[in-house]
Structure 1
Amino acid sequence: MATVNIRRDVDDKFYRYKMPVLQVKIEGRGNGIKTVIPNMEEIARALNRPPTYSTKFFGCELGAQTSFANDRYIVNGAHTGDRLRELLDVFIEKYVLCPSCKNPETELVITGKAGHEDIHRDCKACGRQNGIDMRHKLVTFILKNPPKKKDKGKKGGKKGMTAEVNVGGPLVFDKVESGSDNADEEGSPVVSPGANMGVPTSGTDIDAVLGKSDPILENPDAAEAVTKKLSKLEVNGNGNGHANGDADEDDDDAAGSPWGVLRAWLIDNTDASDADVVAKIKDIGVVGKHKVLLEVGQHLFTDEVVAQLPKRVNLLQALVTSEKHQKSLLGGLERLFAHSPSSDSLIASGAVSKVLMVLYQGDILDEELVSQWGTHVSKKYVDKETSKKVRKSADVFIKWLDEADDESDEE
């Protein structure tokens, strides 16, 4: 593999600090297009930084969602290798090089108490300690995911973010204990009731829990056509990819209000095309509002949500453009599970985990957000007991997500 100097401003071919040339691979099409960095782990190893840091830095700088699992480091959208290499140089300058001696022999060290942490670069070459810019968005990610020391004596298989394990054989889950020490907005962490609520436990095959279905439409041409229709309808609000905002969102739920009209239409038109749904949202005048996702999540789907959702991935990718949108979509789906005529059997069947898998694989839900949602009970959308049941049913997916992250970090 071709290598370059870590400091690209150094022309000396005998410069000792080198890294692989960053490679990119564009995958997908339309709203599902993404940029994969196949050799991010090799680059990260040369920089002595977790590969998630540089990937997340790209996302922060480009305003794009990122995901990392199974040796795949992904930035949503199509980005050129030259652009990402420029950003990698910035990352190296900000988080790797020692400002004093300009050597990359540094480690990130976090000091201070919770809420008052500080991060600095500890240089092994000159012994100096230099701080980093604590105002950058990446700092929050680093504090939540501090550098971990590798356990050289521990070896294990890798878990991918698909429904199958990449080392062969079915992926098996241990029993999930969902207790948490962190209180939510209501002050109540998720608890694990003793009663079996239908969530698969030890010895459960993931294929039986989450299924093998790919969330992307089976017909690529149909998916592309839907994407083109959605882009023509300017689903994000103003034609340049940005939503109109939610500051003036109308909370009036009366039958004649925009939300009452949208709700009634969705209930009567669950089979409507994606383009028709977007056209109705535009016609009502609520484009870009996060509450649109609350109504869509609750009323566009039925008890058959597990089968229906994969066909709506393109629509949801177009509608979900912010963290608020993601939270509202989860709230709507939570209400769907709570108010369904077959609520108990639907929750007990593991449908929540299956739905989360589809949304995660479709890059609709952010990993950090869905993990936090899964471990914090809230009565914002449903009563507290129902909220516990829904999250209990999601334990399988949340546990799998956390363990996949942990193993990726260890490797």
Structure 2
Amino acid sequence: MPAAGIVNIRRDVDDKFYRYRMPLLLTKIEGKGNGIKTVIPNMSDVARALSRPPSYITKFFGCELGAQTPFDEKNDRYIVNGAHDAIRLRELLDGFIDKFVLCASCKNPETDLNVVKNGRREDIFRDCKACGERTNIDMRHKLVTFILKNPPKNPKKSKKGKGEAANNGNAGGVHASGPTIPGQEEDGSGGDTDDELTRKIKAEAADLTNDTVLGDDDWAVDTSTEAVKARIKTLEGQMGGLSLPGGDDDGSEDDADSPYSQFGRWVEEHRGQDGIGSVQIYRKAEELGVEKKHKAVLVLVQALFTEDIVEEINTYNALLAKMITSEKHQKALLGGIERLAGLTYTKLIPAIPKILMALYQNDVLDEEVVKQWGTHVSKKYVDKETSKKVRKASEPFLKWLEEADDGSEEE
């Protein structure tokens, strides 16, 4: 399946710092004549980002197009009969999002879809976790019949309290959190543990220290013509997956004029330019009043680093040391790495051990923080599958840490 780009869930929002994102819907025409059909190979990924069952979206397309929509959930195959243009289906997807995902009050996609019985009547509501409003679904739409016959599953009960699920009464619900919707869980608590990480570490760490030699702890940046050209070449069109989490008390991550959005845009626009190094970036953070905020670290990682991150960590080690001053900052740093490697530069996933080693050798990451991160899957910064993938790739570094500890104890 070809790789899908990442787009805002609300495609009317142009801000690339908008935190709610999903894969771009892909289509594939198969067959011919009366047997022609449109297959949607990444329907499950799109549906997962919206936290709605893929069958709902597929049936919605059928309702709007007057077409049959056979699907096989077991084999992850979703079809709309007939030949349909990808652009048209993406427009219809926008309609589905507007009618069945976005809160009618605040237009936030962070909603639960609930079916509530009212005597003999059943109603469908969107419960918004952002503004608290409960808004009605248009019960006249043809998809409503399918939803009532196939109600959404109850959301999982969180460790923070079983009362949240109980508040739904006899309602079924599913929560729209998307792959980049943060703030649902704290790192290392509330996320599902990937037991396989603690059971087996397969890869070896003998060559982890290669290409991770420390740079001098100064505030300089390589501004040679070759270095600048190399960085600029990797910058073009690479910031599609940038988004911001909640947590600090000033500025909204959905606001293009927030200090975090301004900081991220400035770093993205000026990185690699002559004379722009650690000092200039830190001064910009000071100017915007975010130099001590952990959210600024998350933005910095996504805006500053490229596929050459291992070398860039050594270049900007003084900046990282200056801005990362607590465990919370380190967790934001790791969250930024998850997004950078898991969403923006997926080719970096095999290099996760080297990235962690470079951060560790530069005294930016503490051993206990990275160990806890490596053994606990969290949906705070990326979706669960991406979180697992990134942590799985970190196994060689975790093994190296364990062996280093064992060696110290034996001595």
Query: Which band: TM-score by shorter chain?
Result: 0.3 to 0.5
With normalisation by structure 2, the TM-score equals: 0.44
Structure-1-length-normalised TM-score: 0.44
